[in-house]
């Protein structure tokens, strides 16, 4: 099987195939950097145009866009606190404070190097694990996926930060949004008020653009005369060879976050944003001074960006082997594969080894190219966004948001919906409600509901079905550890200080 891997290599270095990856990476960075335009959207717009192309040209473009966009999202996340893609939300936590402290250039360098490392790790995971891992994924039936979602919801607790009550309210809002639309089993509509457009539920991109992109833009426009623009000099950019040594001690975070990203990618449903959040939390927990996090800790950027690129290729492991995409982007790419007659499954590796392994190589090269293309593009061109007058910048972003949201389904309804969420986000921001739990509540709430109901149907109403196998029990144990662990730790620390006094 692995000999096919080497066999596919020469194909990839064909001029057009290689060029496709380069164009893809550049396009991906640009798309990712624009709030509202996600990798999912870029690739879904691209798919229809690739019908006439050779499979590896089309797939190379997609692999490049995927890798590029996952990094591109970091640029506005760092410079403007606007995540360019959903997966870049965690990047704003420390990236934006760094930019305010005049370390925006370094934050972007950390982001591009970390993204590249995550992407490379993920591409290797795809190459080496795709065939054998198909069996592991099969262990995840509805009750197991339900527990994975519960595990994710439990880990939101770490995101609540200062005010757990506000955090929980945010999470509940997200779960409520997940309930809108036709229910996953019977198709009854819930909270749609007869709107056909709401039958499929709230598209995550629309929610994210409204919630995350609009409030900061309003702030930009509100204070057009404020002169705290971070100029190029304040960006603090220095050559990458000088910046690299400063990142040496990130290696543990890179390693840990790559693993987290790869695993989250493989699990169906949980995508880049969850990978980024989880890896951010884990890195923070492992850190010696967790209090500095959120105030401009470069390692936080490294953790988030490594993980959101590490889930890219790995999300294709279940997609290629089983036809279950791990993320929304993987779902769109799966569509792209099908268009070129590549049916996912074990047969894929037998019937089209050159294409499928060639595609994996393209992923790897896309990740490597990211440092070269992303490094210069980001620090030299995109960072200058900051020098634009604020009203101009705000208006450009709003226009891009409107175009992006409109182009998802080509309808104004989504634009109004986005503006509505923008208003909600603005109010939440003013009242200091955290936004990340909303997103996680939306993704995980929907997953938990659907899979719980499927599991109960399989068990014919008997709740014991949820505890009927080892995989479920392992995830339950992990969930309990996530909830109880920090409490015990706190108690231990307290009793220790009490003993000392």
Partner 1 sequence: MFNSIKYATVIGATLIAGAAIAQDYPEKPIEVIVGYSAGGGTDVMARTAAPFIEKYLGDGASLVVKNMPGASGQIGVTEVANADPDGYTLGTFNLPGMMARTIDRKADYSADSFTYLANVVNDPNVIVTSKRSGIETMDQLVEEARENPGAVTVGMSSLGGDDHFMLIKLQNLTETEFTIVPFRGSAPARTALMGGHVAMGILNISEVASFQDDLNVLGIATTERSDFAPDLPTFAEQGYELVNGSMRGFVAPKGLPEDVEAKLLAAFEQLDGDEEFLAAMAATSNPVEVVTGNDFKVLTQDLWDLAKGVWDETPWN
Residues that bind partner 1 (CB under 8 A): 44, 47-48, 51, 137-142, 182, 184-189, 194, 196-197, 199-200, 268, 322-324, 332, 334-336, 338-339, 341, 343, 345-347, 409-410, 450, 454, 457-458, 460
CA distance 111 to 119: 12
Q: Which of 39, 37, 35, 32 is nearest to 313 (CA)?
A: 39
**Residue 498: CB minimum distance to partner 1, A:** 49
Nearer to partner 1, 454 or 473 (CB): 454
Longest dimension (CA), the chain: 75
Nearer to partner 1, 199 or 372 (CB): 199
Nearer to partner 1, 248 or 460 (CB): 460
Nearer to partner 1, 379 or 451 (CB): 451
Backbone CA torsion sign across 199, 204, 207, 213: negative
Nearer to partner 1, 347 or 484 (CB): 347
CA distance 270 to 123: 18
**Residue 21: CB minimum distance to partner 1, A:** 21
- Locate 86 and state its tokens: 């959903």
**Residue 91: CB minimum distance to partner 1, A:** 28
Write the Ramachandran bin of 194: left for phi over 0, alpha for psi from -120 to 50, otherwise beta. Answer: left
Q: Which residues contact 445 (CB under 8 A, 6 or more apart)?
A: 149, 153, 174, 175, 176, 177, 178, 179
**Residue 341: CB minimum distance to partner 1, A:** 6
Length of the chain: 501
**Residue 137: CB minimum distance to partner 1, A:** 8
HEC-encoded secondary structure of 354-404: HHHHHHHHHHHHHHHHHHHHHHHHHHHHHHHHHHCCHHHHHHHHHHHHHHH
**Residue 269: CB minimum distance to partner 1, A:** 10
Nearer to partner 1, 199 or 476 (CB): 199
Q: Which of 62, 69, 98 is nearest to 85 (CA)?
A: 69
CA distance 306 to 256: 9
Nearer to partner 1, 58 or 301 (CB): 58
**Residue 457: CB minimum distance to partner 1, A:** 5
Radius of gyration of the chain (CA): 22
Nearer to partner 1, 258 or 321 (CB): 321
Contact indicator for 447, 149 with CB cutoff of 8 Å: yes
**Residue 12: CB minimum distance to partner 1, A:** 23
């Amino acid at each position: 099987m692995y000999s096919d891997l080497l066999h596919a290599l020469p194909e990839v270095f064909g001029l057009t195939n290689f060029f496709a990856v380069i164009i893809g990476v550049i396009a991906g960075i640009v798309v990712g950097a624009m709030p509202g335009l996600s990798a999912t959207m870029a690739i879904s717009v691209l798919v229809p145009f690739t019908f006439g192309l050779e499979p590896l040209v089309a797939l190379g473009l997609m692999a490049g866009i995927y890798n590029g966009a996952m990094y591109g999202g970091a640029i506005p996340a760092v410079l403007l606190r606007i995540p360019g893609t959903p997966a870049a939300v965690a990047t704003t936590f420390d990236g934006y404070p760094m930019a305010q402290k005049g370390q925006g250039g370094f934050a972007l360098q950390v982001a591009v190097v970390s993204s590249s490392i995550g992407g490379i790790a993920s591409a290797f995971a795809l190459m080496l694990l795709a065939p054998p891992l198909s069996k592991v994924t099969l262990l995840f039936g509805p009750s197991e996926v339900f527990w994975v979602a519960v595990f994710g919801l439990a880990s939101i607790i770490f995101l609540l930060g200062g005010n757990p009550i506000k955090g929980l309210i945010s999470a509940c809002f997200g779960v409520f949004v997940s309930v809108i639309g036709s229910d996953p089993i019977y198709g009854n509509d819930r909270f749609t008020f007869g709107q056909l457009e709401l039958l499929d539920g709230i598209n995550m991109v629309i929610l994210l653009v409204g919630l995350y992109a609009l409030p900061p833009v309003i702030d930009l426009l509100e204070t057009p005369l404020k002169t705290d623009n971070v100029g190029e000099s304040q960006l603090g950019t220095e050559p990458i060879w000088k910046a690299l040594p400063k990142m040496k001690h990130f290696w543990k975070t890179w390693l840990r976050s790559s693993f987290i990203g790869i695993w989250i990618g493989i699990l169906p449903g949980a995508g880049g944003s969850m990978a980024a959040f989880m890896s951010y939390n884990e890195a923070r927990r492992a850190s010696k001074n967790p209090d500095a996090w959120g105030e401009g800790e470069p390692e936080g950027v490294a953790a988030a960006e490594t993980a959101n690129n590490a889930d890219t290729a790995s999300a294709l492991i279940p997609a290629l082997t089983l036809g279950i995409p791990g993320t929304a982007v993987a779902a769109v790419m799966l569509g792209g594969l099908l268009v070129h007659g590549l049916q996912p499954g074990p047969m894929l590796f037998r019937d089209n080894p050159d294409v499928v392994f060639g595609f994996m190589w393209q992923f790897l090269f896309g990740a490597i190219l990211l440092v070269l293309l992303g490094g210069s593009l980001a620090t030299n061109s995109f960072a200058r966004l900051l020098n634009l007058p604020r009203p101009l910048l705000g208006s450009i972003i709003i226009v891009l948001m409107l175009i992006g949201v409109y182009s998802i389904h080509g309808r104004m309804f989504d634009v109004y919906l986005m503006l509505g969420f923008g208003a909600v986000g603005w109010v939440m921001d003013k009242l200091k409600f955290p936004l990340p739990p909303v997103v996680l509540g939306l993704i995980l709430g929907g997953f938990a509901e659907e899979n719980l109901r499927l599991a109960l149907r399989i068990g014919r109403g008997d709740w014991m079905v949820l505890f009927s196998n080892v995989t479920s029990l392992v995830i339950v144990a992990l969930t309990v550890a996530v909830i109880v662990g920090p409490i015990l730790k706190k108690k231990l620390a307290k009793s220790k200080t009490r003993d000392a006094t």
